[in-house]
Amino acid sequence: MGLTPLEGLVMGTRSGDVDPAVLIHLQRNAGMSVDDIDDLLNRRSGLKGLAGENDFREIHRLVEEGDASAQRALDVYIHRLRKYIGAYLAVLGRVDVITFTAGVGENDDIVRALAIKGLEPFGIAVDAERNAGRKKEPVTISPDWTSTRVMVVPTNEELAIARQAIATIERAGLEGTSDETDPSPASTGHA
């Protein structure tokens, strides 16, 4: 992600990277307002815009039934993942670990396998048995021979938020002044 979650990968309802001229085109040719474009790119694009669904379970079901839009959505999603893996490999010169996380990363072994497929010449691979199924604990899914580990690391957003909240409260308690804790009208600027 960049300034907003729109930059980067295609998401459930977000577009991911797009040509900046798309914004001008939508305004000029489709008569869309800034708010309309914002809604389109954040809430009606991505997998939802490509396949009409943003849940990978449903997309996989539709792909199995031969739905061309669902197949295109899956192909675009995988293409973007692979593009970013390649870009970071080129920029960094080497990659120690590729980590899949969050909803899709933890739960979708098909996406994980397709994202890594064909990267064996770069020392990157997924072991089919290790990759199978949903992952509830951190696990390595690459074969032992690879030079880059591929892992699934489940998120714990609630724990991260709680830790940050505690740290913020502790800093405020240590760095606070008596004026900040004084509820009198003079300290709050209210009379």
In a domain, 167, yes or no: yes
In a domain, 21, yes or no: yes
The total of structural domains in the chain comes to: 2
- Residue 173, pLDDT score: 82
Query: What pLDDT digit, counting tens, does each position of 123-154 carry?
Result: 999 999 999 999 999 999 999 999 999 999 99
Query: What pLDDT digit, counting tens, does each position of 52-98 carry?
Result: 999 999 999 999 999 999 999 999 999 999 999 999 999 999 999 99
Residues at the annotated binding site for ATP? 55-57, 103-107
In a domain, 70, yes or no: yes
Nearest of 32, 15, 14 to residue 23 by alpha carbon: 32
In a domain, 38, yes or no: yes
- Domain with 182, as residue range(s), is 157-188
Residues at the annotated binding site? 55-57, 103-107, 157
In a domain, 150, yes or no: no
3-state helix, strand, coil in the chain (%, to 5): 55, 5, 40
In a domain, 142, yes or no: no
In a domain, 120, yes or no: no
Strands 149-152 and 139-140: antiparallel
Which among 53, 77, 93 is the end of a domain?
93
Which among 45, 69, 93 is the end of a domain?
93
**CATH code of the domain containing 38:** 3.30.420.40
**CA–CA dist 64, 60 (Å, integer):** 6
pTM score: 0.81
Say if residue 185's pLDDT is above 60.
Answer: no
Burial of 183 (0-12, 13-18, 19+ CB in 10 A): exposed
Residues at the annotated binding site for Mg(2+)? 157
In a domain, 127, yes or no: no
